[in-house]
A and B are shown apart, each in its own frame.
Chain A
Amino acid sequence: MMKKITSRREFLKKMAATSAMTAAAALFPGIVFAEEQIRNIRTSGNLEWKKAPCRFCGVGCGVLIGIENGKAVAVKGDPNSSVNKGLCCVKGYHQTICMYAKDRLTKPLVKKNGKYVETSMEEALDLVASKMKETIEKHGKDSVAMYTSGQSTIPEGYVASKFMKGAIGTNNLDCNARLCMASAVTGFLTTFGADEPMGCYEDIDHADVFITWGNNMAEMHPVLFSRMLDQRLKRGATIIDFATRTTRSSMASDRSILFNPQTDLAVANAIAYEIINNGWVNNQFIKEHCNFSKGLINIGYGTEDKFKFKDEPTKIDFEQYKEFLNDYSPEKVSELSGVSIKDIKYLAAIYGDPNKKVVSFWCMGMNQHTRGTWINNLVYNIHLLTGKISQPGNGPFSLTGQPSACGTAREVGTFTHKLPHGVVMNKKHREHAAKIWKVPVERIPSKPTYHATEMFRALDRGDIKFIWTQVTNPMVSLPKVGRYTEGAKKEDRFIVVSDVFPTPTTDVADVILPAAWHIEKNGMFGNSERRTQYWDKMVDPPGEAMPDAWQTIEVARRMGYGELFPYSKEKHEEEIYNEYRQHHEGKKHNMAPLEVLKAQSGAMWPFVDGKETKWRYNVKYDPACDNGKNFHFYGKKDGKAIIWQRPYEAPAESPDEEYPFWLNTGRVIEHWHTGSMTRRIPVLHQAMPHSYVELHPDDAEKYSISNGQKVKVISRRGTTILPASVNERGLPTKGQVFVPFFDENMMINDVTLDAFCPISKEPDYKKCAVKIEKV
C-alpha cells in the first residue's frame, strides 16, 4: 500500500499517516499497524515543526505548525499534548491560512475627513497616546476605557490591566469574556470562593456518564467530544445531551432530552429534589464540606442603563432547603420544562447512583442566561449533594469558549472588578497588586466601573469618550449591537481598534492598529482545564503589524508611565510572564515556570513542587488542602462549599402573540465567533458561506417557507434577513428559531436583547422573542 518515497507529495502523505498513527497510539495504547508500513514512514523533512496551543476555542488543543521558508504551511495535532492526543478539528487544521488573507491589516490607518489614511506606527501610537491623555485631562480618567479579549495572550491581558488600573488608575477595563463565561466565574466564586474547574480533561477517561447541559460539544468542543465518543467505544460510557435544540451532539449522544428555554433552573432543582427524596444524598460529605445559603429573588434583567444589583446571601439549613425544593417535584416541573417526569427521574437517578461516575459539561447554554450564576450554582448543588466532585471522573466542568478566557480574562483579570490576584474591592488584593506593580495602592480604585454591556452603553451616553479594543469584534458580538454601533460613531467619541483584519469594529474606528497574529509573536494561553501553554514566535508579522502587548506598552510609555513598563521588545512576553507569576505565588494558584511551559505542552495550575494539580480541593491530589479532611474547599474561609437555594425565574422576554418565537443564537463548527478569521479561510468559508435561520419543519410549513428562502427575523430591537434552513444541521423545537452569529452581513445581534444576569452581567443570547416573515 505504501510506495517508496518518490516525491515531496508522497513524503507529505507519509507525514500525514505518521501523525494519524501517533494519534491512534495515544488513544489506543499498544495499537499495531503493519510493520512494513511503519518502516517506510520518515519522520523528518524540510518542514520545521513548532508547538503551540490552537488559536481557536477554549479546549486548548496542542498543535504542531509546519514552517517552511518563513511561512506556516501545515498544521497537525500534537501527539504529545494530553489535551487532544494528536487529534485536530477542522478549524484547527486550517487556522494558519487566514494569516495570508489578501486584506490583512498591515499599516496603521487614521481616519481623516471621513477617510482612512495610511500612517506610520510611530505616528499612530503618538496619536492614540495624545488622545487618551487629552481625554483624561478634559473628562477625567473614567472617560477612557479598554475592551480586550479572551483571545488576548496572557502578556497582552496583563499589560492592559497594569496600564488601566496600575498606571492610569481607572477600572474601565473589561473584555469579551464577559459575554461568554462571566456566569461561570460568579458561579464558581459564589459556590466555592475560587474560580475555574476543579477537575481536568482526564475526567473524560474515568467518567461513566457525561451529561451536557445546553452544550453542543460536537461542534463547539469537537476534540473533547471525540474523546467522549472514544470512551463510549472503549468502555461503554454514556452521553446524555440535555438541550433546548437538537444538534449534532444530540444526534451522536445515547440520549437526547429537550427542555423549554430557561427551565433548566427548574429541572436542576427537580433533580436535587429527587436526590434528597430518594435518599441519594451523601450525608457525610454534606456535613463535612457544605453550607446552605439563599440569595435575593426577583433580581431583574439589567435592560435599563446604570442597572445595579448586589446579592444578599443568607445562611439557611438543610431542612429549609429541602422545604424550598418541594415546589420542584418532577411532577410540578415537568409541565413547565417540557421534560417528562420519567426523564427528570432518569437524570436524577444517574446523579444519585453511587456507583456511577458523572461529569456535567456546559458552556454558553448555562452561561449566556439571565440567571447564569444561578444555574451554575444549581448544577454544583447536584454534584455537592451526591459528593461527586473533585475526583477522577466525577465533577461539574464548565468549559470555556475562547482560547484564553481562563488564562487571560479570568486569571490575569481583565474585568472591571478584577486584579491579577483577587478583586479591586478587597484592600489586601489592591495592596498585593500595587506592590508588584510598584505603584501607590491609592491609584487602584476600589470600585468596579463598567462591565461590557454597560461600557458600550456609557460610550453611547458619552460617559466614556475614548475606547481601545484589542483582539475582539464587539460591533458584531454585542447584543442589541445597533445601539452600540451608533454610539461609537458619535462625534466626540474616539475609537481605537487593534486587529488583524478589517471588521465592522474597525469600520467605526478613528485609529486602526494592525496587530500580529497568534504565531507571529510569543505568547501564552490558559485553557478550560487550568492549563497554561506557551508558544514561540514562528513567523514575522506582515508590514507594521505589532503584538497588542507591545502596542499597549508603547502607548503607556508615551503617556509617561515608562517606568512601569521596563520590558524589552525582544523578550517582553517572557519578562511580563515572570512578573505576572508573582501575583499567584502560593499553593492555591502557583503558575508553572516559563521553562516548564517551553519544554512541554503546557502545565495546569496550581503548579506546586514541580507538579501540576489535576483535581483541586481533594487532599489526594491538591497540596493546598490543609484542613485534615478528605476535601477542602479553601476558597471559602471555613473551607466549605455552598449549596444555594435558587428558584426558577422567567427570562427577560418570552414569546407572545406579537413575537411568537424564541430566538436562540450560537456558533457552527466551521466558524470561530464573529467569523473575522475563519471566513477568510476559503475551505471553511465554502463549507459555511453565510448564516441561516433554522426552523422547525412544522413552523416552516405553517409559514410556507422552504429551504433557502429568505426569512426576515424581527424583534423589538431590529431585524435581519437570512435564508431558511429546515431539517439540515440542527432542529429547533417548534416555536423556536436558531441563528448562528458569525456572519457580519446577516447581523443577528441587531435582533438580540441586552438583558443579562444581574450577578455576572453576562448577556443572554439564547432567549428573546421574535417574529418571522417570509420575504
Chain B
Amino acid sequence: MPIKSYLAHPCDGKYQQLLSDLSNITGCDIIPSENEEIAIVVTDTKDEFEDQKLQVKINSIKSLKMLSMVSGFDTNQQ
C-alpha cells in the first residue's frame, strides 16, 4: 500500500493550471507553496499497480514540467 511524496514543477506560467489539474486526480493530496511555483503531491494507493497507474496519470498532465520523487513508504513491507 504505497504512500509517496513528490515535488511537482509547473511549465512556465501554468502553476495555477497545474494545481487545478492535480486536484482533479483521485488519490492525490496537494500542498501548494504560497510563494514559489512548486507543489507537494502525496499519493496514497492500495497497491503498486494502482500506484503505477496514478503516476502515469500525473505524468500525463500537460501543465506539469517535472515530478521529483522525495520519499515513500510501503506499509506492506512490515
A-contact bits for B20-51, CB 8 A (1 contact / 0 none): 00000000011111111010111010001101
Residues of B within 8 A of A683 (CB): 2, 48, 51-52
Which of chain B's residues has its CB closest to A15's CB? B73
A20 touches B73 (CB 8 A): no
Residues of A within 8 A of B6 (CB): 20
Is A73 an interface residue when CB atoms closer than 8 A count as contact? yes
Q: State the CA gap A20–B30 with chains docked (Å).
A: 11
Residues of B within 8 A of A686 (CB): 48-49, 52
Q: Which listed residue (B4, B5, B36) contacts A31, Cβ 8 A?
A: B36
B40 touches A20 (CB 8 A): yes
Which of chain B's residues has its CB closest to A73's CB? B77
- A715 CB to closest chain B CB (Å) equals 35
Q: State the CA gap A12–B34 with chains docked (Å).
A: 24
**Stretch from A22-30, A264-272, A459-467, A703-711 that touches the partner:** A22-30
Residues of A within 8 A of B32 (CB): 33-34
A74 touches B70 (CB 8 A): no
B-contact bits for A3-38, CB 8 A (1 contact / 0 none): 000001100110111011101100110111110010
Residues of B within 8 A of A89 (CB): 69
Is A77 an interface residue when CB atoms closer than 8 A count as contact? yes
Is B1 an interface residue when CB atoms closer than 8 A count as contact? yes
A71 touches B42 (CB 8 A): no
Which of chain B's residues has its CB closest to A69's CB? B78
A68 touches B68 (CB 8 A): no
Q: Which listed residue (A2, A87, A97) contacts B74, Cβ 8 A?
A: A97
- B63 CB to closest chain A CB (Å) equals 14
Q: State the CA gap A12–B2 with chains docked (Å).
A: 10
A21 touches B73 (CB 8 A): no
Which of chain A's residues has its CB closest to B9's CB? A233
Is B3 an interface residue when CB atoms closer than 8 A count as contact? yes
Is A75 an interface residue when CB atoms closer than 8 A count as contact? yes
B-contact bits for A27-68, CB 8 A (1 contact / 0 none): 110111110010000000000000000000000000000101
Is B66 an interface residue when CB atoms closer than 8 A count as contact? yes
Which of chain B's residues has its CB closest to A68's CB? B78
Is A449 an interface residue when CB atoms closer than 8 A count as contact? no
A12-B3, A13-B3, A32-B33 known; A687 and B52 CB under 8 Å? Answer: yes
A97-B77, A687-B52 known; A17 and B29 CB under 8 Å? Answer: yes
A33 touches B73 (CB 8 A): no
Q: State the CA gap A101–B30 with chains docked (Å).
A: 34
- Interface size range of chain A in the complex: 35 or more
Is B75 an interface residue when CB atoms closer than 8 A count as contact? yes
Q: Which listed residue (B44, B49, B69) contacts A90, Cβ 8 A?
A: B69
Is A1 an interface residue when CB atoms closer than 8 A count as contact? yes
- B6 CB to closest chain A CB (Å) equals 7
- Interface size range of chain B in the complex: 35 or more
B36 touches A28 (CB 8 A): yes
A66 touches B42 (CB 8 A): no
B4 touches A16 (CB 8 A): yes
- A612 CB to closest chain B CB (Å) equals 26
Number of residue pairs spanning A and B whose beta carbons lie under 8 angstroms apart: 134
A88 touches B31 (CB 8 A): no
A76 touches B1 (CB 8 A): no
B31 touches A37 (CB 8 A): yes
Q: State the CA gap A13–B65 with chains docked (Å).
A: 24
- B15 CB to closest chain A CB (Å) equals 12
A1 touches B36 (CB 8 A): no
Residues of B within 8 A of A12 (CB): 3, 73, 75
Which of chain B's residues has its CB closest to A76's CB? B71
Is A180 an interface residue when CB atoms closer than 8 A count as contact? no
Residues of B within 8 A of A8 (CB): 75
Q: State the CA gap A31–B40 with chains docked (Å).
A: 12
B70 touches A23 (CB 8 A): yes
Is A321 an interface residue when CB atoms closer than 8 A count as contact? no
A21-B31, A226-B68, A233-B9 known; A13 and B48 CB under 8 Å? Answer: no
A87 touches B29 (CB 8 A): no
Residues of A within 8 A of B31 (CB): 1-2, 17, 20-21, 33-34, 37
Q: State the CA gap A100–B77 with chains docked (Å).
A: 9
Q: State the CA gap A77–B44 with chains docked (Å).
A: 18
A73 touches B74 (CB 8 A): yes
A71 touches B44 (CB 8 A): no
Q: State the CA gap A419–B1 with chains docked (Å).
A: 48
Residues of A within 8 A of B42 (CB): 13, 16-17, 20
Residues of A within 8 A of B44 (CB): 9, 13
Residues of A within 8 A of B9 (CB): 229, 233
Residues of B within 8 A of A87 (CB): 7, 68-70
Q: State the CA gap A233–B77 with chains docked (Å).
A: 36
A17-B5, A19-B71, A73-B78 known; A32 and B40 CB under 8 Å? Answer: no
- B58 CB to closest chain A CB (Å) equals 14
Q: Which listed residue (A23, A33, A74) contacts B33, Cβ 8 A?
A: A33
Is A93 an interface residue when CB atoms closer than 8 A count as contact? yes
Q: Which listed residue (B33, B51, B69, B72) contacts A24, Cβ 8 A?
A: B33
Q: Which listed residue (B1, B65, B78) contacts A71, Cβ 8 A?
A: B78
Residues of B within 8 A of A566 (CB): none
Is A86 an interface residue when CB atoms closer than 8 A count as contact? yes
Most buried by B among A24, A30, A31, A75: A24
Which of chain A's residues has its CB closest to B23's CB? A1
Residues of A within 8 A of B49 (CB): 686
A9-B1, A19-B5, A24-B7 known; A76 and B70 CB under 8 Å? Answer: yes
Residues of B within 8 A of A90 (CB): 69
Residues of B within 8 A of A687 (CB): 52
A13 touches B29 (CB 8 A): yes
B-contact bits for A78-117, CB 8 A (1 contact / 0 none): 0000000011111001101100100000000000000000
Is A543 an interface residue when CB atoms closer than 8 A count as contact? no
Which of chain A's residues has its CB closest to B4's CB? A16
A71 touches B66 (CB 8 A): no
Residues of B within 8 A of A100 (CB): 77
Is A140 an interface residue when CB atoms closer than 8 A count as contact? no
- A310 CB to closest chain B CB (Å) equals 47
- A29 CB to closest chain B CB (Å) equals 10
Residues of A within 8 A of B3 (CB): 9, 12-13, 16
A66-B73, A69-B78 known; A17 and B40 CB under 8 Å? Answer: yes
A229 touches B29 (CB 8 A): no
Residues of B within 8 A of A86 (CB): 70
Residues of A within 8 A of B71 (CB): 15-16, 19-20, 74-77, 88, 93
Residues of A within 8 A of B2 (CB): 683
Which of chain A's residues has its CB closest to B40's CB? A20
Which A positions have Cβ atoms within 8 angstroms of B?
1-2, 8-9, 12-13, 15-17, 19-21, 23-24, 27-28, 30-34, 37, 66, 68-69, 71-77, 86-90, 93-94, 96-97, 100, 226, 229, 233, 682-683, 686-687
27 contacts between A and B (CB under 8 A): A1-B31, A12-B3, A12-B75, A13-B29, A15-B71, A16-B71, A17-B5, A20-B70, A21-B40, A23-B70, A24-B40, A27-B38, A28-B36, A32-B35, A33-B40, A34-B34, A72-B77, A75-B71, A87-B7, A89-B69, A90-B69, A96-B77, A97-B77, A226-B68, A229-B9, A229-B66, A683-B52
Q: Closest 7 A-B residue pairs measured CB to CB?
A: A76-B71, A16-B5, A19-B71, A20-B5, A20-B40, A20-B70, A74-B73
Which B positions have Cβ atoms within 8 angstroms of A?
1-7, 9, 29-36, 38, 40-42, 44, 48-49, 51-52, 65-66, 68-75, 77-78
Q: A9-B3, A13-B42, A686-B48 are in contact. List 18 more A-B contacts (CB 8 A).
A: A12-B3, A12-B75, A24-B33, A32-B34, A33-B34, A34-B31, A34-B34, A37-B31, A73-B75, A76-B72, A77-B71, A86-B70, A88-B69, A88-B71, A90-B69, A226-B66, A233-B65, A687-B52
